[in-house]
Chain A
């Protein structure tokens, strides 16, 4: 198992949002303030890690013909547990994310990783995979959130800093409201994907140059 490689993959080269293009629904819908991005990212990371661990532990017991049904049952179980815990202990976040918490059940990242990774690898590797993919998802969400919030509302850290108002960077009359609407989500996501592609190419070139120099 190679933790560093998995971390790199989750964050950049196999990032669930910018490379695998999984979980687009939540990525586009909730990324309007920093608080939402961090909350959703953490919720998905926790659920993804738990379901990866359990599915990996059960991978030899679950017959392959019913694996999807079994995975979805396990994932739905974890999502409901997290949903109930959020309602009971962090109601502000539960209200802010609303329907998107129950919708994590159908977030393809979780089923995708269960099918592509946890069903074929050991428990520890699967746990690391869940954690790194979750972090990759969270980082991508936060980047999209920060850009959309800045351009659309003119603030930074909405729902979290400055008593929920966020720190105002652009005066209230200038921000383009469209950026927090769906169209802004598609635009920003496109640019973030392009940016991550550029970064990957750049790093690749750099490492090739290094090898050539040797």
Chain B
């Protein structure tokens, strides 16, 4: 550096970086303010439609007891329960809704959010025929489930055994939670 003193030089570097981060922070705050309401409405809609999908008619949030630590919310409706479970998948937590009838049978499952590998684990939430087929096999089941690799009856998504196992674990958690409620 030319004739600039060390103090001035360090201050200049710090101030430049501070200025850049401050501008970026303000820009992000602005974008967040615009997009947040939309994202929130969208997530709320998604949650609502997931409940409707597995428990026609929807339901009200009720108190529950859970031994697995995976259940986050339970909604009670006329025909049974919609249980929100959060098992750990391959790329993070999978949030899913499991519909369970009063006599302990799975009514259906729906994935609310996931961060699984695109094209493999993400199939568990996809609206494609492979995704529908994977979720469809849970309907009507009861007791304790496992994927076929572990000697169970659930056909895992090809190339995504860990994701399939996570979804199965979630369904089991929901079933045992409803069983506890009687």
Contact = CB atoms under 8 A, between A and B. Distances in A.
Chief secondary structure at chain A's binding surface: helix
Interface string B103-135: 000000000011111111010011111000000
Interface of B: 12-13, 16-17, 20-21, 24, 27-28, 31-32, 34-35, 38-39, 42, 91-92, 113-120, 122, 125-129, 158-159
Chief secondary structure at chain B's binding surface: helix
A212 interface: no
Given A70-B16, A99-B115, 6 more contacts: A30-B119, A32-B120, A62-B20, A98-B118, A98-B122, A177-B158
B159 A81 contact: no
Contact of A96 (B31, B92, B118): B118
A63 interface: yes
A164 B122 CA distance: 13
Contacts of B117: 29, 98
A-B pairs, 10 with minimum CB distance: A32-B119, A77-B24, A88-B35, A88-B38, A84-B35, A98-B115, A81-B31, A87-B39, A88-B39, A177-B158
A61 interface: yes
A1 interface: no
Interface residues of A, number: 38
A172 to B, nearest CB: 9
A213 interface: no
5 contacts: A66-B16, A70-B20, A87-B39, A98-B118, A181-B159
Contacts of A70: 16-17, 20
A76 B125 CA distance: 28
Contact of B118 (A32, A89, A164): A32
Interface of A: 29-30, 32-33, 36, 58, 61-63, 65-66, 69-70, 73-74, 76-77, 80-81, 84-85, 87-89, 91, 95-100, 153, 158, 164-165, 177, 180-181
